[in-house]
Amino acid sequence: MQRISTLDDIAAGLDALCAADPRLVRVRAAAGEVQLRRSEPGFASLVSIVVSQQVSRASADAIFGRLVRLADPLTPEVLLAAGEGLFREAGLSRPKQRAVLAVSMAVRDGLDLAGLCDLDAKAAIDAMTAVPGVGLWTAEVYLLSAAGHPDVFPARDVALQSAVGHALGIDPRPGEKALIEIAESWSPWRGVASRLFWAYYREIKGREGAPPS
């Protein structure tokens, strides 16, 4: 399986997508720079994605920035030893506090987040979603950013739903189930399609809609 590791990989994926679906030629032209969006595999990467659940990108960046400053170094041990006050000061909701602590315990007890990047998508997603508070969206975004998985499309992502709906003239915007069906035709480059539509969202909305990477 080819990983998305360089901008050349992005370009190859975009070429393949546009050849397979001519509608995406216009989307590519309007999207501007399609970013690589890679991060180092590991604990900090997954925690940053948990923090970004169901909040704007700006809010996620601010909360994660405070968390990193307050929990230095950002490790499972430091977070498990921290009191609720630290999470409250960082701005984490109670559900996210519980999720971050569950991730911390799982990693402390042997969950190998770097090793998951070598697995196929289903096996990696199954392992991550077994951790309380880590849902499908979180696991899929981790595979995109930390593993560079080429064929993952987080259809629950509201920014992707909005971008695809706008680009393809679908009103109201497609929900998760409809977006899964639409994205099937973009396999095996759905990971690049995700990046393309996040870039398109940035251009039409004037703000970043993609999760942190």
DSSP class of residue 120 equals -
Do 160 and 173 form a contact (C-beta atoms < 8 A)? no
State which residues of the chain have pLDDT below 50. none
Domains of the chain (ranges plus CATH)?
A: 7-37+151-205 (1.10.1670.40), 43-145 (1.10.340.30)
Position 1 scores a pLDDT of: 66
DSSP state of 41: S
pTM of the model: 0.95
Angstrom distance (rounded) from CA 7 to CA 11: 6
> What pLDDT score does 212 carry?
87
pLDDT score recorded for residue 181: 98
Q: How do residues 92-136 score in pLDDT, each as one tens digit? A: 999 999 999 999 999 999 999 999 999 999 999 999 999 999 999
**Digit-coded pLDDT (tens) for 37-51:** 999 999 999 999 999
CA distance 168 to 202: 16
Element (H, E) at 80: helix 76-81
